[in-house]
Amino acid sequence: MTREQPPVRIDPLSEAAARRHELTRAKAVQALRELDRAGAPVTFAAVAQAAGISRSWLYTQPDISGQIRRLRTKADGVGSAAIPAGQRATDASLRARLTAALGRNRQLADENARLRRQLARALGDQRSARTRSGNDP
């Protein structure tokens, strides 16, 4: 005869701690997104202040601290922190601008070649006119 185990009761203190942890994480993530969206510098101090949490807690969260470091490095390397996330160029728009610039380059190169040919013809005509008139030195 086996005895049934009573259902495991979760400790109310553990439940409260887990809820508090998730609430703190949500605040940190929200603050991180808002700072990035606004183009403000993303630092541990800024995120902690915006979220109303401690910096030391942020350092203990590998994913959040990693994201802060990534955004901070991106801002240091490219200067994109000054541009809000919603205003940053997408890959598609950058490709479209590159295609337009390459097309304009092609047009300018063609026009340059046409103008060089015209100049060569004009100089040739000028030289021919001088030799016919006997004014060629």
* Digit-coded pLDDT (tens) for 20-75: 999 999 999 999 999 988 888 899 999 999 999 999 999 999 999 999 998 887 76
pLDDT computed for residue 90 by the predictor: 84
pTM exceeds cut of 0.85: no
What type of residue sits at position 55? R
How many angstroms separate the Cα of 128 from the Cα of each of 37, 54, 72, 99, 136? 68, 86, 68, 44, 9
∠ CA 58-62-68, rounded to 5°: 60
Contact 59, 68 (CB under 8 A): no
